Amino acid sequence: MKWDALEEEPCSLARTVAVIGDRWSLLILRECFLRIRRFDEFQASLGITRHLLADRLKKLVRFGVLRRVPYQESPKRYEYILTQKGLDLYPIIMSIVHWGNIHMVDSRGRPMLHEHKNCGKMFDPVMVCSECGEPLTAKAVHVHPGPGARQSSPVHAKAQERAKRGAEST
């Protein structure tokens, strides 16, 4: 499968993966949320090759996640700023960080703590239902095809059936 094909898939996950689903894009976005904005800063803090950095920044700009903004004339220099679309990636970044905090820390503990300015406390992110406010788990969610769906795949139907008959899990 080509990257471009991902964008066309009738699946919001696949389309998002087309934007941020590679090793470097997520790390670049982490730096953006840590207020890194300039080419050489990204390069220095990530150790990414300049070649790939240029490529990924272009891609993120093309998708409207970053904006390339001039910060000086002569010589003209640009920095890369998160757009609203980019800022909206924050829940993704935070849930990735949180999973790492729970499942990937070593004996020394978390590399980073997060303080919520509103309440002044160190927090963890919690994902809740927009309708009832309860925390969400995979098992409490049922999926339906939406208006943008393509006819449901036979393999999924078969798996659903088997899962219903079978005992436990996922």
Confirm or reject binding of residue 165 to DNA (CB under 7 A). no
Residue 165 interacts, among DNA, its own copies, none and using kind-specific CB cut-offs from 5 to 8 Å, with none
Confirm or reject binding of residue 11 to its own copies (CB under 8 A). yes
Confirm or reject binding of residue 57 to DNA (CB under 7 A). yes
Report which residue type is found at 95.
Answer: S
| Contacts with 76 (C-beta within 8 Å, 6 or more apart), sequence order | 70
Query: What are the backbone dihedrals phi and psi of residue 125, each rounded to the nearest 5 degrees, phi first?
Result: -80, 140
Residue 51 interacts, among DNA, its own copies, none and using kind-specific CB cut-offs from 5 to 8 Å, with DNA
Taking residue 48's Cβ as centre, other Cβ atoms within 10 Å add up to: 19
Q: Please, which residue, 59 or 89, has the CB nearer to DNA? A: 59
Query: What are the backbone dihedrals phi and psi of residue 94, each rounded to the nearest 5 degrees, phi first?
Result: -65, -40
Residues across the chain? 170
Looking at residues 11 to 30 of the shown chain, list those that interact with DNA (rule: CB under 7 A): 22-24
Are 77 and 66 a contacting pair, CB within 8 Å? no
Are 66 and 75 a contacting pair, CB within 8 Å? no
Q: Give the residue, chosen from 39, 41, 54, 61, that forms a contact with its own copies under the rule CB under 8 A.
A: 41
Looking at residues 49 to 88 of the shown chain, list those that interact with its own copies (rule: CB under 8 A): 64, 81-82, 85, 87-88
Confirm or reject binding of residue 156 to DNA (CB under 7 A). no
Residues in contact with DNA by CB under 7 A are 1-3, 22-24, 38-41, 48-52, 54-55, 57, 68, 71, 74-75, 77-79
